[in-house]
Amino acid sequence: MSKEIKFTDDTMALVQRMIKRYPEGKQKSALIPVLHLAQMEFDGWLDAPVMDYVALILNIKPIEVYEVASFYSMFNLKPVGKCLIEVCRTGPCWLLGAEDLVRHIEKKLNIKDGETTPDGMFTLKTVECLAACGTAPVIQVGETYHENMSTESVDTMLNDYKSSGERKTHFDKKHIKTQL
Amino acid sequence: MGKQLLLENINVQGISTLEVYRANGGYKALEKALKMQQSEVVDEVKKSGLRGRGGAGFPTGMKWGFIAKPEGVPRHLVCNADESEPGTFKDRFLMQNKPHMLIEGMILSSYALGANVSYIYIRGELLYVYHILEKAIQEAYDAGLLGKNILGSGFDLELYVQCGAGAYICGEETALIESLEGKRGNPRIKPPFPAVSGVWGRPTVVNNVETIAATVPIILMGGDEYAKIGIGKSTGTKLISACGHLAKPGVYEIEMGLSTEEFIYSENYCGGIKNGKKLKAVVAGGSSVPILPAELFLKTAKGEPRLMSYESLADGGFATGTMLGSGGFIVLDETASIVKNLWNFTRFYHHESCGQCSPCREGTGWMEKVLHRILEGHGKQSDVDLLFDIQSKIDGKTICPLGEAASWPVASAIRHFRAEFEEYVNHPEKIKDVKHYYNMRNLQPTA
Ligand SMILES: Cc1cc2nc3c(=O)[nH]c(=O)nc-3n(C[C@H](O)[C@H](O)[C@H](O)COP(=O)(O)O)c2cc1C
Ligand code: SF4
Ligand code: FES
């Protein structure tokens, strides 16, 4: 990673706020929220030096960070595209056509599940039930839920993200200021 | 439609804000509770007969009664907003639209339990709801509803939201506690129960979002009045999140005791099966509960109408009954493949197993492989019995109930739909009718 690994002042202030939510000496409890912030700040994934940095901030061992980062499905341990397209593949979404959506996206972007487009714009990932089965099939991009999806609405969605070109992460940067 | 205690005013413009929530009677239950003794609040919840809405249906008042109160040790209330059971989306709906109802419930329940620091653990995928809650909590602090000396009562409470990061197992209460401590979501062996040793070894109560929200109407109307709603030991109302092949999927609040037939077919609720198709099967309480064929779902084995209640859905035990579970109501029409649906659920449990116990870690994988083999057209006659055998060796032999959650769907699908499995084995050409695209590893396409 070329740039220096350091949270911006605002993010660091939020990290400090999060640590205070737990009793003295239990700052490790902030690990998962802080890893979300790290993904937001450092290109949507957790490189080893980023995890070491988080360990330093929370005053825990790097292994304690690695074992958590590798357990939870939302933490990316490999680089991802600017937009992570997460398609729900579980029963209720499958009943209403999730497979067709995955196949459609794979064809359209010419990548397979888990891969990133050569321009670095999109990564496709299949995920488990997103707690929105009543509006299946569902796709999550960053913080946004796209519900009742069809191949047509997928096309529109992909075009919109492509033309905006913005990075979409799970924890949207716009919330940092409001939560300080 | 029955009484709407939780979804009341849900369509009022701006109900997610403190101002509109309060203008519509919000925080009246909190005002009332703070004038009562803590033990009186617990008593009202006991009288209401409220049972945990997270899936297990354990009486809430009794659970609260178990919390240990060692001198000088802080206690915690943790709200389980991990909602990840396939088919379940009621908690998200409630939190997104009426965040203050959950916050009000958290404050009065924390008061009842004597907790001064409480947490809402929300699944990571719901970060947008996390931000809604953060905003609502800030509003509550600004209005003196959180923090020191709430509404002049002398009661202090700090309330925080903590997000997870994608792991179904973190809905299990001891895994949730581990996750809240910043660790992998590995369930703990019980005992000790969280009521004695929970977060950071302190006495902890974990309750579902809907359970906590239900304490608001219970305090408002009184436990006895609440207990009059519903049927028998299934008191009050229940949120049902209905999905699958339905004309009108969505979240409905029902009075317990509504007939399953009315729930599926009435225009007030799901409006029947999508596109006028026939009902084939129902998974009534989230993916882990036994699947029932249409006939057994609408009527019990004794021929009585089946009702939406803990007891009626369980009527007949696992031989002919199921469970109310989390209220995740998944409907399959005549075109659905039971075998493929089961493969999908089994794949899910294999993916979500934390890996601590070999019966769960290995067994879920074996079941997934055997089902995959059947779906690929390479099944053997003995595979159906093999599947049944594997699930029986997981059931009851693991640290946490994810093992059972994975085995019950398999046992029930074979029990009620054995012929369909055998048809797949004996006539692999039939499988062509099933839309079949993924292979078992990471859903890579096969064609
Ligand atoms: C694998 C597994 C997943 C669970 N997921 C959830 C969940 O997402 N939400 C929930 O409230 N309870 C879930 N539970 C149940 C909790 O362990 C616990 O019983 C519940 O939060 C207690 O709250 P209640 O008494 O208010 O229902 C799950 C249990 C298991 C075994
Ligand atoms: S039953 Fe499965 S999920 Fe539960 S502790 Fe054992 S391995 Fe983990
Ligand atoms: S199955 Fe896709 S949101 Fe529940």
Share of residues in chain B with pLDDT > 90 (%): 94
Report CA(B352)–ligand 3 centroid distance (Å): 15
Report CB contact under 8 Å: A112, B241: no
- Which CATH number fits the domain B338-440, given the four candidates 1.10.10.60, 1.20.1440.230, 1.10.260.40, 3.40.50.1820? 1.20.1440.230
> Please, which pLDDT band fits residue A180 given cuts at 50, 70 and 90?
confident
Per-domain boundaries in chain B: 18-228, 239-333, 338-440
Beta-sheet strands, E only, within B192-291? 204-208, 230-231, 234-235, 237-244, 250-255, 279-283
Helix (H) or strand (E) holding B203: none
Contact between B129 and B164 under an 8 Å Cβ cutoff? The reply is no
Mean pLDDT over all residues of chain B? 95
Give me the total of CB pairs closer than 8 Å, taking one residue from chain A and one from chain B.
171
B160-169 mean pLDDT = 98
> Please, which pLDDT band fits residue B441 given cuts at 50, 70 and 90?
very low
State whether residue B125 sits within 8 Å of chain A by CB. Answer: yes
Q: Could you identify the atom of ligand 3 that is nearest to the CA of residue B86?
A: 4
Q: What are phi and psi of B344, to 5 degrees?
A: -60, -45
B165-181 mean pLDDT = 98
- Residues 35-74 in A contacting B (C-alpha not used; CB under 8 Å): 35-36, 58, 60, 64, 67-68, 71-74
pLDDT, one tens digit per residue, over B268-327 is 999 999 999 999 999 999 999 999 999 999 999 999 999 999 999 999 999 999 999 999
- Which CATH number fits the domain A83-164, given the four candidates 1.20.1060.10, 3.40.50.300, 3.40.50.1220, 3.40.30.10? 3.40.30.10
User: Which residues in chain A are classed under CATH 1.10.10.1590?
Assistant: 9-77
Q: Is the interface score ipTM higher than 0.95?
A: yes
HEC string for chain A: CCCCCCCCHHHHHHHHHHHCCCCCCCHHHHHHHHHHHHHHHCCCCCCHHHHHHHHHHHCCCHHHHHHHHCCCCCCCCCCCCCEEEEEECCHHHHHCCHHHHHHHHHHHHCCCCCCECCCCCEEEEEECCCCCHHHCCCEEECCEEECCCCHHHHHHHHHHHHHHCCCCCCCCCCHHHHCC
Q: Which ligand is nearest to the CA of B353?
A: 2
CATH code, B239-333: 3.10.20.600
Q: Which ligand is nearest to the CA of B188?
A: 2
CATH 3.50.50.60 fits A9-77, yes or no: no
Report CB contact under 8 Å: B166, A102: no
Report CA(B356)–ligand 2 centroid distance (Å): 6
State the Cα–Cα distance between residues A59 and B225, nearest whole angstrom. Answer: 52
User: Which residues in chain A are classed under CATH 3.40.30.10?
Assistant: 83-164
Q: Please identify, in words, the CATH class of the domain defined by B18-228.
A: alpha beta
